[in-house]
Every structure is written in structure tokens, then in C-alpha cells.
Amino acid sequence: MSEPANSKGELWLALHLPLLGLDLLQLSSAHAPAACLYEGENKHQRVWLGNSRARRCGIVPGMALKAALAQCPDLQTYPRRADAEQSRLEQLALICLDFSSRISLEPPQGLLLEVGASARLWQTKFLRRHLQGLLREQGHIVYTALHETPTGALLLARSRQNRPAQIPLGAFPVDAGITRKLARIGVHTLNDYLTLPEKDRMLRFGPELEQMALKILGRLPDPRRNWRPPCRFRRTLELEYETASAGQLLFYARRLLDELDEALAQTCSAVQQLHWIFHHYRRAPTRHQQQLLHPGRDMSRISLLLHEQLERLPLPASVEKITLQVNRFWPKAADSLSLLRDMGQNIDAIEPLLEKLQARLGAQAVYQLRALPDHRPELAWARVAPGKATPPPDQLPPRPLWLLPQPRKLSSIRSFRHWRGPERIASGWWEDDIRRDYYRARHRSGVTYWLYHHAGEWFIHGVFG
Amino acid sequence: MACSADIHYAELHCISNFTFLRGASHPEELVQRAHDLGYRALAITDECSLAGVVRAWRVARELNFHLIIGSEFRFDDGMRLLLLATNLAGYSALSQLITDCRRQSEKGSYHIERPMLDQGLPDCLALLAPTLPLPGEEVLIEQTQWLAERFPKRCWLLYERVLSADDEQSLQALSRIAAAARLALAAAGDVHMHDAGRRRLQDVLTCIRHGCAISQAGQRLYPNGERHLRSTQKLARLYPRELLDETLRIASLCQFRLDQVHYQYPDEIIPENHTVSSYLRQETEAGIRRRWPGGEPVKVRKLVEKELALIAELQYEPYFLTVYDIVKYARSQKILCQGRGSAANSAVCYCLGITEVDPARVDLLFERFISKERNEPPDIDVDFEHERREQVIQYIYRKYGRERAAIAAAVITYRPRSAVRDVGKALGLSLDQVDALAKSLAWWDGRKVKPERLRDAGFDPDSQLISQLMTLVNEIIGFPRHLSQHTGGFIIARQKLSALVPIENASMADRTIIQWDKDDLETLGFMKVDVLALGMLSAIRKTLDLIENTSGRRLRMQDIPPDDPATYRMIQQADTIGVFQIESRAQMSMLPRLKPASYYDLVIEVAIMRPGPIQGGMVHPYLRRRQGKEKVAYPSDDLRPVLERTLGIPIFQEQVIKLAMVAAGFSPGEADQLRRAMAAWKRKGGMEPFRKKLIDGMLARSYPLDFAEQIYQQILGFGDYGFPESHSASFALLAYVSSWLKAHEPAAFVCALINSQPMGFYRPDQLLQDARRHGVEVRPVDALASDWDCTLEKTAGKPALRMGFRLLKGMSRRAADMIVAQRRERPFASIRDLATGTGLNRRQLDILAASGALRSLSEHRNDARWQVWGQHKTTPLLQQAPLKETPTRLPEPGEGERLLDDYALTSLTLGRHPLALLREKLDRARLLPLGQLKQLRHGQRSRAAGIVIGRQRPHTAAGVTFLTLEDETGQANIIVWRDLAEKQRRILLHAPLLVVSGKVEKEGEVVHFIAEKLEDYSGLLGKLQTRSRDFH
């Protein structure tokens, strides 16, 4: 096979991390217990990747997770987290930025660096070894390869071959059906494939594989998108003098918020979570997280809230720097709010109030009650965050609004009159079994109570309003 | 408070577990409990269903307890109404209403709307049972008024006090409403279970119904467990006296008893100018002339007269004539059929052509099967060719109409696996856990879930959750889940069937089933004709056709010569792969010992390898006596006539029943009860009283205890698999016929067997291997020669078998037919020719190429594939212009690759056996070829490898698994004892290539290899797929 002609003098270094997802869980070493990642829900869970011990048990990607477990009952299984893999690739790309300005992310398992330009500075051999070392330090298993084309480099790394002609067709990221088909007529490597008549092979096996082959041969352009570090907001402001006063800190914080506002305006975005870091001299910084009920861009409201919070934020020392960091920008949404408004709830008015109450009393102290469809009185309601309760079911049996935190034992029921009942509640045998006969009865004092009888004893459980 | 002694009550609102996933008690339990509590009556009011009433009736009849038949209906607007039958007319109207509600809805559901009751329902009482919490008063007023207009003086309002909030207000409101509408108020209990102990199960059923976990079920559950049959004392505390009294008034109006439902035979089976007797006589006489053209033997004449007299006395003529009519139709369509069962093996049935078992040849006494004393209904099951049974069914529908003919229900009940699945999910186990648990009950764990299995699956058997789960699972097992169709039990009535029993839709389109199963029908004395499907009949008919096509010789089943020595020789050598009944592993191991040499030997052979005789320990004594190693003796002279034909050892179900009468003093009625209990004890239990009676009775007549205990064990064994002599007689005939065909026409027989798949015990590839071992030439699938079915090709000598397209996995019938049709017009010259001519899609072409079916049109399979993949749909214009292709030389596939393809597509290779390819490796591992195991001495140890082609775990064989291994040298039977099976369960169940270490056991010609250790060598097979059929 002829060497590819590359007029641009490019040279690509491919990094292939075959067990990336397992690297993240520290399960990729040869000594790790059999483990695999899976994708899909419930019945459709399939093995995505297994470590070497799993492979030895016959676990292969694509097999049903259940089958895998049947084959290897000790197999540890974890859901695959593509987002975590992606962000690890980005972290690694950041490291690689030191060696090349042209980097391409090749998820799910690869990175490409164009090293033609830097090859003069760094001996390619050394660079390869150096990067391998760096990645291994990070806990990765990595294979590398160099080739004039990105596709060639990636496939060589993936298949751990030296010459493109030897690349097995199975290494190509094409529909497995195609390579299986080729294998069925005895065509196993790139070289085998290229010996088939060009026109006929296109007809039979489609353009996908063909194009990759041509890219490796340098007969088709193989452009890659340059990776850039992602954008998010992080600004640090050095204070003119150290202070611990809430008012002064707020003054500086507002400057950061102005900058944030500008950044948000440019991208038409909103924020929901703001991370404040107050740096002290020779001390661990104080961190504070601001959480809004909904993504928003109302800086005056944010600074008002911050004010409330700063007054209660214990600072161990005076502050010398403030950092504001926002990890995620939200697309600015106004429609969802208007929907709520149509439902007749003046969310605009209540939201600032709730946020204010929460800021004053603490987030846990403000809640809403929600009826739960359980027969057992203790489990028939729940606290939920404000605004999260659904309307109660239509037909609730008569229940007191005020339920005692604990039923209180009664020594005598002589003072009660006008008994109504019993209502027998006997449920929960699968966890907290109760069996009670409830009565409504009026106490001498005129108050109607909710009483119950259980195992020969009487308890008071609630008060009707 | 009233004194409990004078509290009388009739429960009028009670559902059983035939209100699926709501009722938590069996109908029998409810009746028994209501009786025990001193209730005056109980109404079973399943929701739009009468499916449980016969079961309730069976108990009520025995207890002489007042059972009321009714049904509950829920309307779209929330109204809940009970309708109770007061008399037969009311019952019929109710049955018709249920039929109407169900027939217009999908299987398992119903729909009722008020206009359906616009005329009221004659002779039924209407009870309005408002659901809780009560709907608004206006709603109830409207409902009562509507009802009062349609059921004047026949309707009530029910107050159901189940201790919910505001019971008192409800009572006040209902009293007001009832007074306003001038109706009486009556008490009821909305009963869902017979005992409060079923409360948990009822909650779980609710969860299953809603598909939720119990922790999420919330108010979908009932707040308490009050919906059970409560003591009358308690009821007296809860209800005003007059409400309780009212229940008795209502009950007293319901005088209907289920035994008033009177079944009548259809009457169109007799031509005009005939009575049933004269017509049966006429047809029987015609049959005698046909069967014995030279005049019948005296013995036969005597028999016929005796039988006709008995039939007339029991008034069974219409039954025989109905079956005769169906069989006559089948014969007119050349559909092979064969009757079996108690009445089938009579001389009359032989004359009518219902059976081929010749009464002159064998001594099967009809009276043995039907007797006056025993109150058994006549029983004739007719087997038809399985592929053409539908024709017969459609004939029955045509002849009697869908109004009058329907199929009996089969009640599908919870089994351990489904129970664990549903209960597990309801208790909140994850799907994975439920699966693990369900899987831990692999098919042989019996009916209870063992703690060891739980531990295997990673559960703690002592945890609360698991102990609850197990209790609930054991309770729910046997609960009905839904009604399905019986395999072929037809019920045909003179009048409209829906007036006798509700009819509902089955899942199969255009099928309707009645709400009762075969036991229910038997209880009420309904006639049932079993129209069953039997694959072997299809195979026999096809074999006979093939013989005619290749040799011109027309054989009929009755022409096959009896007592053919060559056939018996083959049977004695257990060379019976493919033949009927005696082909299973267990049967095959018995044949060389039993050495059947006559038809009756086969009757015994068919019946002996079954749970009854095995559990009763009857097999070995019989064998010893047969081999002359033990003297034939009888437990008593009285038993001699009962046991004579089986050398003093009871083998058949009929013998055991008879034995209970002779040796234990059972009355005919008791014997009949025993027979029924036998069939049902696995599901319901209830054998204990019989055990005592049997053993006491036998001891009293001075039979040894051992013998009594053995008989009892045998009775238990008959349970689900009771195999009476009357069925065995018919099956033995088919076993003989198929054996004869295998012995004399092996090519036609195997060809027909394969063309009748799926059926039988062996896969097509195993059948073909066997045929090749018997010298049948098997030719591969070839697009230029094959049909869809396998065919016989003429050769100079014996015919050769051409594999049909049906043996190719994934090949469609339509594609195969296209090829055959096109080929007939013009033979294919090239693959391109074939592809364009037939318009086959790529997938089908691919299968042809891979299987080598294009061998005549290409160099090799790789070349065929390359060519096939180059075919594109072209317009007709381009069709003629050959596309220019560069000639390509592709590597020829190796033997291993061809073999993989062969296995992938046909599970069979005509080339070398896969293990032949691995032999070198196996030799290096010092593994013996299976063929050499036979040459080892008894007790010698060895190690051998083979592909697992069969795993069988007979219910009977106390934990033994029979494995069949195969390699290029033959097959071997491996026995895996329970301990090893438990220890190496996973390998045993899953490994396709096994290495077995163990030792040889020889008994005469029978060689077994007892496994001591199993190893999974499947890795060697690579992608080679082998599959084994697991049998229960």
C-alpha cells in the first residue's frame, strides 16, 4: 500500500483511551475486580465497556447486562456517564494545549493533536512518551499513534497497529454489520479491502467505510474541528483594603455582578447558581453558594438576596479577594413564568417573598404542606419546597388540620362526649404496621379531638380546628 | 346488642379471585367459610363473571349450603350494581347479559351501560351497592330512582359498613334515600376475602392490578382489612337488626340452584326418521360390514351388542354420534384423526372409525373404561393433524353456529415464576432483583421456593421482606389470572349456549370461550368433545402421501401390517428417534429392558415411563417380572383380574382406581371422587382424606402397609400426568405406526416429520443426523432444486431427501415460493437471474448465499455473497443490460467458516461434525470420543467432550438430569445426579460444549455415563451456535 501523500506536512498524534469510563472509576487496572459500564434503561441495558477481568469472563460490549451478570455474577456494573467522559476529555485537552494548538476531541475515547508544527521543537518520539506518561499519571490507559491523517492516527492507535494496511476493519467506527459482512467473504484488513475493485466495493459496502479508507490514503480531505476551552464566568476582584463588613463586601460584589450581567447580556443567558469565594489571608476561603428558584438575570434581586445572606454569613477573617464563579449559563426563559401567571398565581409577588423568607429563616424553614395518598395519618402528608405541592385529592376523609407530632396517650376518656366512629385504619404491614380505630369526640372544653384506640389504650392524635 | 345465637345473615356481595386481581380468596374457601360462620347463604358476585360459581357450587352442594349466583357490574358513571338470579330464567338472563357486556369488549374486559338494562332483567334482583366514599346524595337519588323503575319491587339499597370514616352519616343518608325511593335497605359486606388473613394478599393484588409498588400504592389500597367474611356476632354489632333480616328475605327469593342448568345434546346429528339409538345402530352395523367384510368374529358381535346396550342405558348415543359426525367430516377432508379416552376404545368406536384400535386384536374391555356405577361422563378425545385442526374447528362452528358451540376455558393460574415476579414487583423489588429471584427458580425447583435458591440469588431468606414475599407467593400460587382457551374442548348445546354459561372473547380473533373450564363442565354434566391437535398425525399422513408419490403405493393407517418383527427389533434397540411417544430419553432407556414385542407391550411402555408408576415404584418390579427374574404374584386373589394383564403390578390409572375399590373398599362414587382429586391435588391439595381411607381400607383387608403406601404414592404421581390405559392404547397404536414407517420408509418418514415441525422431541437437525445414520442420503438446500418443504428425490436406489428452504433460519415462505414458481417458468442461469426474476430482498438472498443454496450458480459461498451483494433493484429496462463487474477473486471459505454458516442457518452441517474439527485439541486434552464410551467396562472412569443436544429433567426422576451429548462419533447419555446439578447448575444449564468426567454404568445393552464433574469448554466453539431444547 502506498504511503499517504500529505501536501500540508501535517502529522497527527492520536491518543486512544480504551477504558476511559472505567478509568474514571479506577476500575481499569488489570487487578481491578471485574467491572463494566452499561447503557440503556431497564430491559435494554447493554454492556458498554468492560475491564480486562470482565473481558476474561467473556463480557463483551453490546451484550445484555443481564446476560453479562448471568455469566459473571460478581461483575460490578455502573451506568455509563458520557458527560463525565466528555469533561475528562476536555480536561485532558487542556493539558494537551501545552503541546499543540490544534486539538480535536474524538469522543468517546480519543484525542487528536496536530504535532507537525511542534515536531521540530519536540522530538515526536519524546512527545509521545511524555504525553503517555502524563495521561498514565492521571490514571489512564492510553495508546498512541502517529500518522499524517487524523483518521489514520486514530485507527492506528485504536487497533494498536503500526502500518495502516494492517488495520483490521473491525477497528473502523462504521456499522458493525458492514465489517461483519466483509469478514464473511474473507476480507479482514484495510489491505484486503483495498484489493477489492473500488467501484464494486462502494456498491456493496456503502460510502462510509470507503470514505474513511480514502481519508487514510490522503485522497479525501480529513478536516477536524479545533477544540477551544469552554466559556463560563469567573472573575476575581482584589479589594482595595481588607474588610469583613457586609456592606462593603456587597459594594465589591456588585461590581462583579455588573460584569456578570454584561456577560449574560451578550449571550442572552440567565443564571441560577452563583458561587462566591471570599478569600482570606492565610486561611481557607469562605465559600457561599447562591441558589435562585428559577434562572434569572435580575441583578438587583440577586444583590438584595446576597445582602441578606452576607449579614448572616460567618466570616472567620477579613476578606482580601472575592471570586464570583458561574459554572452554567441558562438560556433566558421568560415563558415558563407567564404560564404560571395565567394560572392565577402571582408568582412575581410571592417569589421574592419566599426567597426573602428563606434568606432570613434558612431554606429549610420555609415549606409547603402536601397531601399524600396514604391511609396512615403520619404518612398522609409531607413537607415540600414552596410551590412544589400538587393540589390535594378530591375526596379526603375528615382529617384534623393539626396532627400532633406524636400521638399522646390518654389515661382516661371520661371527659369526651359525642363520639363518632370508629374509622378503622389498619395498613402498612410492609413497613410500619398500624391498626387503630379512630374516633372523633368532643372534649369537655368544647374542642373536637381525633382519638384512637389501639391495643386497649387510648391516644389523642389530632385537633380539629 | 342482640344475642349472637339468633343472628342470621346472608352475605349478598362477595367477589372471589375470579374477579381477577381483586378478590383474594378461592370460591371454595368463601363458601366453606360462610358455612362455618353460620351464614344462611352466600352470593358469589364476581364482576361481570360467573367463572367461579361452579367451584363454589361443588362445595356448597356437599355442605348443603345455600349458594346464590349473581354478578357485580360497574357502570361508567360509577354506579355499582349487583344482580342476583332468583330462578333458572333469571340465571339465563344474567348469563346473557354478561355475554353481551363481554362480547363487545376486548378479552378480559367488559362494558355495561344503562340502556342494556332498560327492560330490567327478568327474574333477577337488583342491589345497588354504592362505592365508598359515598357519592353525593343527588347522585344516589337518581340511581335509586332509575333502578326502582326498572326493577320494581325487586331492588334494594345496600349499606356496607367496612369501618370507614362517617359510617353513621352514610347510614343516615342511605336510609333517607331508600325511604324516599320506597326501597328497603339491606346489609352487605363488600367481601373480597374469606378471612382477614388474606388482607396482605388483597393489597398485593391491588398493586399488581395498578402496576405499582406497595409503598406507592397509597389510597389505592383499602384502608383496612374489613372486607372479609365477618362473624355474625360482629355483624350484629355493626348493623341494625332489620338490615340483617332483610338479607335473609332477599336470599329466600333466590331459589336458583346450579344443578337446574340442564344441558341438552344437539339434535341435528340424527337424520329424519331416526332415533339416536336406531341411527347409532345403523352406522355401527355399516361399520362392521366395512371392517369385517367376511363377517365379524363372534367375540366382536358380542362386544358390540353389549356396548350398544350400555350406551343406550346411559343415554350416551348423542355423544357418540356427535363425535362420529366430526370424525366423518375429517375423513371426508382426508384429515387423519384418532380417538382416545375411556369411550374411544370401544368396538362401537372402531366400527364408527373413531379409532383404529381393533377390538379383535386386543383385549381392551370397554367396560373397563365406562361403567354404570361410576358416574363418569363419556370421554372421547379426538386428535387431528395439527396443521389442519382449524378446519375441523371451523366445521363445528359452521354446523352448530357460534351461538351454540364454543371452546371451554382454561383457567390460567399463578405459577411460582409469575407469582414471584408479580409479588416481588408489588413489594418494591427492582426489576433486576425480581428477575434474579425468578431465575433462581429454574424449571425444576418444584412448587415451593427453597431458601437455598434465595441465598443463591443474593437474598436473605430470613429477612422480613423475603419471608413476606414467600408467604404471599405461596398464597397466590394457584390463583386464577385470566381465562384462556382450552386446547380444544368444544362444548356444543342444543340451544343458545349463552343461556347456560356466559361467553367471552378469547385473545385469538374470532374465538369465543365460555367462562367455565373442563372440571366445571364435568360437574354440571355438559358434553365436551376434545378436538385436539397432534403433530404426529400430520407427519403420518404426510409420510403416507410421500410414499404414494415416490412409489405409487397408497398405504392407509389400517393397512400397516401389525406385529412386524423388523419394527419391534428396531424398537427394542431404542432406535426410536422421531417416533411417537417412545422417543424421549427416559423412554429410550427403558426400551432395551422392556423389549416390547407386541402391541400391548407398547401400551404398557407408553404408560410406564410416567410419574404415576415411577413414584409408586412400579417400574422395576414390573421389569423384573417381565424379565422372569421375579415370580408373578398377586397381593390377593381379588386383585388378580385387576392386575393380571400387567403381571400383578398396577401401572394404569384405571387399575389404581379399580384397586381402590377392590382392595380398599371404595364405593364407585368415592372412586370417582378419588379420580377427580387425583387430577387436582397438585393445585389444591385435598388428598389426605383419601390417603387415610385408602390405607385403612387396605389394612383392614389385610394388605401390607408397604403396598398401600406404594399405591398412594402412585396415586399422587398420577396427579397432573395421569395416563390411563384408554389413552395409552391409542397412543401405542400411533407409536407402532410411526415406528413401522421409520423402519421401512426412513426417508419419507423423516421428510414428513421435518415438514410437520414444530413437533416432537427432536430438532430437524437431530432428525436429519439420525436419518443419515440410517443411510438416508441427505442433499443440501439448493435454489435450483429445493422446495419450501423437504422433498424426496428419486435415485437409482432408495429415495434421497432434499433439504427444503424451511430449514434455513430467517427464510420466508413467500420468498421460497417465489423461487419455486420462477424456477418452474424458466430455470435460473445466474444469481443475477434469480435475484431479478424473483425480486427477493437482500436479506433472503444473503441467507441463500450463506447457506450454500446458490452452490449451482457460484464458485463458492464467498463468491455467492459477493454476487448477491452486487444486486440492486433495477428497472425492467436495465434488467437485460448486464452491469459490468470487475471479476474478483475472493478467498474460498474454510471448513470452519462453512460449518459456522451451516450451523447459523440450519443448525446442521452435512460436512464434518464441529467436534471433528476440534478433535486434535480434544485429543491433546485426553478427551475420549463419545463413541468409545460404550467400549469401556462397567465402573471404568473417563472424560469425554460433546455438544449438549438435550437436557431433560423429568419431574419423576427425583432430581436427575439426563444430558445428551453428541460428537462426530455419536451420542451419549449422561446422568447428572442432583448434588452435582446443584453444585454446577450454571454450567449444566448453559454450557453448549461440555466436558464430563465420570464413570460408566452398564446394564445389559444400556450404557450410561454418570457425571462426577462438568467443565465448560464452550470457548472452543468460537461463534459456533448450538442450542438445546429444554423440556419440562
For the residues A380-385, what does the mean pLDDT come to?
75
Clarify whether residues A298 and A444 are in a common domain: no
CATH of residue A277's domain is: 3.30.1490.100
Residue B803 lies in a domain: no
Contacts of B843 (CB under 8 A, 6+ apart): B810
Residue type, B771: A
Residue A101 lies in a domain: yes
Clarify whether residues B937 and B884 are in a common domain: no
DSSP per residue, B100-116: HHHHTS-TT-----GGG
Give the mutation candidate from B134, B139, B161, B163 for the A interface (greatest A CB count, under 10 A). Answer: B163
- Across A105-119, B68-82, B579-593, the highest mean pLDDT is recorded for B68-82
Give the mutation candidate from B432, B435, B868, B1017 for the A interface (greatest A CB count, under 10 A). Answer: B432
End of a domain among A289, A306, A331? A331
List the single residue in A with minimal CA-CA distance to B465.
Answer: A430
Clarify whether residues A97 and A114 are in a common domain: yes
Q: How far apart are CA B439 and CA B126, in angstroms?
A: 48
Residues of A in contact with B865 (CB under 8 A): 181, 184-185
Q: For residue B826, is pLDDT > 90?
A: no
Provide ipTM, 2 decimals. 0.72
Q: For residue B8, is pLDDT > 80?
A: yes
- B132 Cα to chain A: minimum distance (Å): 10
Mean residue pLDDT across chain B: 86
pLDDT at residue B610 in the model: 78
Contact between chains at B167 and A423 (C-beta distance less than 8 A): yes
Residues of B in contact with A372 (CB under 8 A): 218
Nearest of B845, B865, B855 to residue A183 by alpha carbon: B865
Residue A389 lies in a domain: no
DSSP strand pairing (B66-74 vs B41-44) = parallel
Clarify whether residues B851 and B958 are in a common domain: no
CATH of residue B960's domain is: 2.40.50.140
Q: How far apart are CA B866 and CA B869, in angstroms?
A: 5
Residues of B in contact with A66 (CB under 8 A): 432, 435
Query: What is the residue range of A306's domain?
Result: 233-331
The model's confidence at residue A393, banded by pLDDT at 50, 70 and 90, is low
Clarify whether residues B118 and B68 are in a common domain: yes
Q: Dihedral sign, CA of B295, B300, B306, B311? A: negative
pLDDT at residue B282 in the model: 95
Clarify whether residues A221 and A237 are in a common domain: no
Listed range (A219-228, B56-65, B866-875, B980-989) with the worst mean pLDDT = B866-875
Clarify whether residues B685 and B579 are in a common domain: yes
Using CB atoms, pick whichever of B133, B223, B432 lies closest to residue A427. Answer: B223
Contact between chains at A397 and B865 (C-beta distance less than 8 A): no
- B62 Cα to chain A: minimum distance (Å): 36
Residue B876 lies in a domain: yes
Clarify whether residues A181 and A56 are in a common domain: yes
Using CB atoms, pick whichever of B203, B218, B865 lies closest to residue A185. Answer: B865
Q: How far apart are CA A62 and CA A68, in angstroms?
A: 10
Using CB atoms, pick whichever of A43, A372, A424 lies closest to residue B224. Answer: A424
Report the DSSP beta bridge partners of residue B514.
B503
Express each pLDDT in B24-67 by its tens digit. 999 999 999 999 999 999 999 999 999 999 999 999 999 999 99
End of a domain among A195, A227, A259? A227
Clarify whether residues B974 and B962 are in a common domain: yes
Cell numbers standing for residue B218:
397509597
Clarify whether residues B92 and B222 are in a common domain: yes
Give the mutation candidate from A184, A374, A379, A452 for the B interface (greatest B CB count, under 10 A). Answer: A184
Q: Which is more confidently placed, A287 or B63?
A: B63
Contact between chains at A42 and B225 (C-beta distance less than 8 A): no
Give the mutation candidate from B132, B440, B865 for the A interface (greatest A CB count, under 10 A). Answer: B865
Contact between chains at B870 and A425 (C-beta distance less than 8 A): no
State the total domains in chain B. 5
| Cα–Cα distance list, B306 to B309, B347, B370 (Å) | 5, 10, 12
Residue B401 lies in a domain: no
Q: How far apart are CA B290 and CA B651, in angstroms?
A: 34
- 3-class secondary structure per residue, B631-645: CCCCCCCCCHHHHHH
Using CB atoms, pick whichever of A181, A204, A420 lies closest to residue B870. Answer: A204
Q: For residue A268, is pLDDT > 80?
A: no
Q: For residue B878, is pLDDT > 60?
A: no
End of a domain among A331, A362, A389? A331
State the total domains in chain A. 3
Contact between chains at A424 and B872 (C-beta distance less than 8 A): no
Residue A369 lies in a domain: no
DSSP per residue, B403-414: TTEEEEEEEEE-
Clarify whether residues A123 and A263 are in a common domain: no
Q: What is the CA radius of gyration of chain B?
A: 33
Residue for grid cell 434558612 = A362
Clarify whether residues A222 and A254 are in a common domain: no
Contact between chains at B869 and A181 (C-beta distance less than 8 A): yes
- Across B228-232, B678-682, B764-768, B963-967, the highest mean pLDDT is recorded for B228-232
Q: Are A253 and A308 in contact (CB under 8 A)?
A: no
Q: How far apart are CA B1005 and CA B345, in angstroms?
A: 35
Whether the bond between A422 and the residue before it is cis, its omega within 30 degrees of 0, is yes
Clarify whether residues A30 and A126 are in a common domain: yes
Clarify whether residues B342 and B282 are in a common domain: yes
Clarify whether residues B956 and B884 are in a common domain: no
Clarify whether residues A243 and A126 are in a common domain: no
Clarify whether residues B250 and B378 are in a common domain: no
| Cα–Cα distance list, B326 to B335, B344, B488 (Å) | 11, 14, 13
The reply to whether A234 touches chain B by the CB within 8 Å rule is: no
Express each pLDDT in B668-705 by its tens digit. 777 777 877 776 666 556 677 888 888 898 898 888 88
For the residues B220-240, what does the mean pLDDT come to?
94
List the single residue in A with minimal CA-CA distance to B440.
Answer: A70
pLDDT at residue B881 in the model: 46
Q: Are B1001 and B1008 in contact (CB under 8 A)?
A: yes
Express each pLDDT in B85-135 by its tens digit. 999 999 999 999 999 999 989 888 999 999 999 998 989 999 999 998 888
Clarify whether residues A30 and A120 are in a common domain: yes
Q: Dihedral sign, CA of B848, B852, B855, B859? A: positive
Residue A244 lies in a domain: yes
pLDDT at residue B445 in the model: 46
- B11 Cα to chain A: minimum distance (Å): 21
Clarify whether residues A115 and A206 are in a common domain: yes
The model's confidence at residue B800, banded by pLDDT at 50, 70 and 90, is very high
CB atoms inside a 10 Å sphere around CB B105:
14
Contact between chains at B870 and A70 (C-beta distance less than 8 A): no
Clarify whether residues B268 and B216 are in a common domain: no
Q: For residue B855, is pLDDT > 60?
A: yes
Give the mutation candidate from A201, A427, A464 for the B interface (greatest B CB count, under 10 A). Answer: A427
Report the DSSP beta bridge partners of residue B317.
none
Q: For residue B1005, is pLDDT > 70?
A: no
- A155 Cα to chain B: minimum distance (Å): 25
Q: Are B678 and B666 in contact (CB under 8 A)?
A: no
List the single residue in A with minimal CA-CA distance to B204.
Answer: A430
Contact between chains at A420 and B862 (C-beta distance less than 8 A): no
Using CB atoms, pick whichever of B427, B432, B870 lies closest to residue A200. Answer: B870
Express each pLDDT in A424-442 by its tens digit. 999 989 887 889 999 999 9
Q: How far apart are CA B245 and CA B222, in angstroms?
A: 27
Q: Are B127 and B94 in contact (CB under 8 A)?
A: no
Residue count of chain B: 1032
- Across A257-271, B331-345, B352-366, the highest mean pLDDT is recorded for B331-345
For the residues A65-94, what does the mean pLDDT come to?
84
Clarify whether residues B34 and B116 are in a common domain: yes
- B368 Cα to chain A: minimum distance (Å): 53
- B531 Cα to chain A: minimum distance (Å): 39
Contact between chains at A426 and B225 (C-beta distance less than 8 A): yes
Listed range (A320-329, A355-364, B369-378) with the worst mean pLDDT = B369-378
The model's confidence at residue A349, banded by pLDDT at 50, 70 and 90, is low
Cell numbers standing for residue B832:
443475477
Q: Which is more confidently placed, B527 or B339?
A: B339
pLDDT at residue A334 in the model: 43
- B985 Cα to chain A: minimum distance (Å): 12
Residues of A in contact with B164 (CB under 8 A): 397, 423-424
Residue type, A84: A
- A332 Cα to chain B: minimum distance (Å): 36
Q: How far apart are CA B593 and CA B596, in angstroms?
A: 9
List the single residue in A with minimal CA-CA distance to B468.
Answer: A430
The reply to whether A184 touches chain B by the CB within 8 Å rule is: yes
% of chain B residues with pLDDT over 90 = 41
Whether the model pTM is above 0.90: no
Query: What is the residue range of B985's domain?
Result: 915-1031
Clarify whether residues A93 and A201 are in a common domain: yes
Clarify whether residues B196 and B274 are in a common domain: no
Q: For residue B879, is pLDDT > 60?
A: no
Residue A362 lies in a domain: no
Clarify whether residues A163 and A177 are in a common domain: yes
Contact between chains at A423 and B220 (C-beta distance less than 8 A): no
